[in-house]
């Protein structure tokens, strides 16, 4: 009798849980929220393991958030039949990822490094810790963690509510926006319409975000906040900047010595954001010197009429339709101007 009672209670609890979760999922879907994958260390590590594909089968991308939005991976792969391995991490300085690949004797592929000057030429970015954790996780991950990742993927591909960045308990607590105070730093919140993540680690903003100036202004305010953190700070000493150039050259030289290729890209920004970047990071001192010092090719969006006109909705990233257009022209520039062979007759798996 007692066992039957326990069984009924368990079944009732299960029904309630399924009903609550199902109702929550239906509510989120009715709001038009798309599937978004958790862009944590397991997903990054899964991509990091792909860098060993043959030279003609894959191109690896590192950088900050711009290349995650601006490179439309389906367009890239459909046009080239070459795998795009996305390892960029938003808000981070990509140099640790560059050094990790440079110090990996088994990486001999093609690498494209996206340069956002304010992050690339800095001592640290807001989310450098995230990138470093990703790198450590990849090198330390266990077979059990690998299996867990692949078991979790089917769930994430079906349920919107598993979006940890917006629907977890911690995310909901963050929405309370507790004011910053001495010793407590609260990361600015981004509207959900601005940041969704595919399994391939491509970020995209929704069509609603592209037409909603209120949402755009929220993100612009975040950019202004991050800019204010460095306001009034003295310019980086010449010795420190030279040390950055030297470390990047050491890394790129290692990759090229193994038969790999490295190319830098400056992806689009617009409006007052771009004007501020031009003032804070003059090309001759940063971008031009980077290419000359490392002896690596580069593509700056302002040098090519096909990609110099994009208007970023929140000043710093492309909408998905513009990302598709940018990617098409980017491929053409790589092939025609930089002599990269990007057409692989073999089909992607």
Domain ranges for the chain, please list them. Answer: 1-31, 41-336
The CA distance from 196 to 35, in Å, is 8
Q: Which residue has the higher pLDDT, 55 or 273?
A: 273
Helix (H) or strand (E) holding 171: helix 169-174
pLDDT reported for residue 228 = 79
pLDDT score at 104: 97
Flag whether pLDDT at 185 surpasses 70. Answer: no
**pLDDT of 178 strictly over 70:** no
Q: Buried (b) or exposed (e) across 213-232, using 16+ Cβ within 10 A? A: eebbebbbebbeeeeeeeee
Q: What is the pLDDT of residues 257-313, one digit of tens each?
A: 999 999 999 999 999 999 999 999 999 999 999 999 999 999 999 999 999 999 999
Q: Is the pLDDT of residue 119 over 50?
A: yes
Please say whether the beta carbons of 302 and 308 come within 8 A: yes
The residue ranking higher by pLDDT, 333 or 344, is: 333
Please compute the mean of the pLDDT values over residues 79-98 and round it to a whole number: 96
Least confident of 117-126, 144-153, 229-238, 253-262: 229-238
Candidate from 8-12, 27-31, 158-162, 203-207 with smallest mean pLDDT:
158-162
The band of 155, judged by pLDDT with boundaries at 50, 70 and 90, is low
DSSP 8-class letter at 205: -
Mean pLDDT of 242-249: 96
**pLDDT of amino acid 41:** 94
pLDDT at 28: 64
Domain 41-336 CATH assignment equals 3.10.20.740 = no
| Contact yes or no for 219/190 (Cβ under 8 A) | yes
47 pLDDT above the threshold of 90? yes
What residues contact 75, with CB distance under 8 A and at least 6 apart?
A: 323, 324, 327, 328
85-99, 150-164, 220-234, 332-346: range with highest mean pLDDT:
85-99
pLDDT tier, 5 (very low <50, low <70, confident <90, very high otherwise): confident
pLDDT for residue 289:
97
Average pLDDT of the chain is 87
- DSSP for residue 179: P
């Amino acid at each position: 009798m007692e066992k039957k009672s326990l069984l009924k209670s368990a079944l009732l609890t299960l029904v309630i849980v399924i009903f609550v979760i199902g109702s929550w999922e239906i509510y989120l879907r009715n709001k038009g929220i798309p599937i978004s994958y958790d862009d944590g260390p397991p997903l990054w590590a899964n991509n990091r393991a792909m860098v060993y594909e043959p030279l003609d089968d894959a191109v690896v991308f590192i950088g900050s958030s711009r290349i995650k939005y601006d490179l439309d991976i389906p367009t890239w792969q459909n046009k080239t039949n070459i795998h795009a391995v996305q390892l960029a991490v938003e808000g981070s300085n990509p140099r640790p990822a560059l050094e990790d690949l440079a110090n990996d004797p088994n990486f001999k592929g093609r690498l494209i490094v996206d340069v956002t000057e304010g992050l690339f030429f800095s001592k640290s970015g807001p989310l450098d810790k995230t990138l470093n954790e990703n790198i450590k996780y990849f090198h330390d991950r266990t077979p059990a963690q690998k299996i867990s990742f692949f078991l979790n993927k089917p769930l994430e591909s079906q349920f919107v509510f598993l979006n940890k960045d917006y629907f977890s308990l911690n995310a909901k607590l963050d929405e309370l926006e507790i004011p910053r105070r001495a010793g407590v730093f609260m990361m600015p919140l981004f509207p959900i319409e601005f940041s969704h993540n595919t399994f391939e680690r491509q970020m995209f903003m929704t069509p609603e975000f592209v037409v909603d100036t209120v949402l755009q202004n929220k993100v612009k305010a975040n950019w202004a906040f991050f800019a204010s953190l460095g306001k009034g700070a003295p310019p980086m000493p010449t010795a420190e900047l030279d040390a950055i150039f030297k470390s990047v050259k050491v890394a790129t030289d290692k990759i090229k010595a193994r038969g790999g290729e490295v190319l830098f890209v400056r992806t689009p920004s617009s409006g007052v954001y771009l004007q501020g970047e031009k003032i804070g990071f003059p090309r001759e001192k940063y971008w031009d010197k980077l290419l000359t010092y490392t002896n690596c090719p580069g593509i700056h969006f302002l040098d090519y009429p096909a990609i110099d006109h994009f208007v970023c909705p929140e000043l710093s990233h492309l909408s998905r339709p513009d990302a598709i257009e940018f990617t098409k022209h980017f491929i053409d520039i790589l092939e025609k101007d930089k002599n990269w062979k990007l057409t692989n007759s073999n089909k992607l798996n």
